[in-house]
Amino acid sequence: MDKGFDIQAYMTKGVENIVADAVRATFRNPREAAFMAKFALASKSASKRRRAFADKGEHIPAFLIASITSKCNLHCAGCYSRCSNATVDSAPVCQLTDEQWAKIFDEADELGISFILLAGGEPMLRRGVIKAAGRKANILFPVFTNGTYIDDEYFKLLDRCRNLIPIMSIEGGKDTTDKRRGEGIYDKLIANMDEMKKRGLIFGASVTVTTKNYREVVSDEFLGGLAKRGCKAVIFVEYVPVTSDSKELAPTDAEREFLQGELLRLRQNGSEMVYVSFPGDEKSSGGCVAAGRGFFHINSHGGAEPCPFSPYSDINVKDTSLREALRSSLFMALQDGGLLADDHEGGCVLYEKREQVEKLLAGK
């Protein structure tokens, strides 16, 4: 690990850039702009709390990914979560309750965590958890959803709680999206977007970048269509395989380089949309930012994991605090051992070096 690299300063700058972009993207929407202005102040206060922890030798990341359910109604081709059995058709009884998630959100607020990405399974199935998130105005909650459960009650909740930002999964155009996600999904997403624009709601899109769609999803036609419908953020998630059967979907080095070049072009063209890439260029961040360096993951059962693509855990928030989970033996071993900054072929270092992660988990 590069001892000269300041992860706290890097992540703080990243948060400031995202907030500044969000303020810029919403300035024509008075209600959203007012909320974003308040959130900008809250994020500065949160940054000061994280810095206070850092001054005492304790690193608190700005981001948390919370998979609030393992249940999903779709069977998307190559889904990493289903391949690792983290997503199923029926939710097991041992998932965290609404109250337990609300407690996690409270503690995250106290620690200075500014962003909690709500994922699943399909997070909109947990209406009680979504409502609890809506009450934490100091935290921005992007909700990564397949869009099929957004109903009138949710539209009203999104209108009341501007810190809830639906991020709807789309793969490109109608043919590409329906081929991976199921027939009729694209039309449902477009209907959602049109309704959100009509109601003055801010939303984003999440795109899984594969060898099949990497050119389509950065095309002016696709992104222009999203912008026209009111989309304000596009999050590109590079496909990470969890089985050998789906490895051909993972972008190659050349395809990732093409994606990064296009993102640079898009960010410089003056668009109001915010563009985020994950995992993106790890070299610019001193290596992978998982395992608490820049973010960490809480699964639907409460296990603290390095990230959704590395589903290994040695501590559970049912039994301890969120702050203590960040000091788990696995997280510390990943950070101190330098594995997160190791050279690798590209994409996700923890997936590529999963055998080493498993050895760390076993204490070897």
End-to-end CA distance of the chain: 20
**Residue-level pLDDT at 99:** 97
Instruction: Locate 195 and state its tokens.
Output: 């309704």
* pLDDT value at residue 83: 67
Give the pLDDT means over successive 10-residue stretches in the chain (364 positions). Answer: 54 70 76 87 94 93 94 81 71 87 98 95 96 96 96 97 96 96 96 95 94 96 95 90 76 90 85 79 65 90 91 94 94 81 64 82 73
Q: Please give the pLDDT value at position 281.
A: 52
DSSP 310: B
Residue 90 region by backbone torsions, left for phi larger than 0, else alpha for psi between -120 and 50, else beta: beta
> CA nearest 76: which of 142, 120, 127?
120
Q: How far apart are CA 16 and CA 176, in angstroms?
A: 34
**CB-based contacts of 166: which residues, under 8 Å, 6+ apart?**
142, 143, 145, 147, 150, 158, 192, 196, 201, 203, 204
Neighbours of 174 (CB within 10 A): 16
pTM of the model as a whole: 0.90
Q: What share of the chain is helix, strand, coil (3-state, %, to 5)?
A: 45, 15, 40
Alpha-carbon distances, residue 26 vs 3, 44, 116, 334 (angstroms):
38, 19, 20, 38
- What integer pLDDT is reported at residue 2 of this predicted model? 45
Question: Which structural domains are found in the chain, ordered by start?
Answer: 7-361 (3.20.20.70)
Beta bridge partners of 203: 231
What is the Cα–Cα distance from 248 to 160, expressed in whole angstroms? 43
Using H for helix, E for strand and C for coil, what is the string for 164-202?
Answer: EEEEEECCCCHHHHHHHHCCCHHHHHHHHHHHHHHHCCC
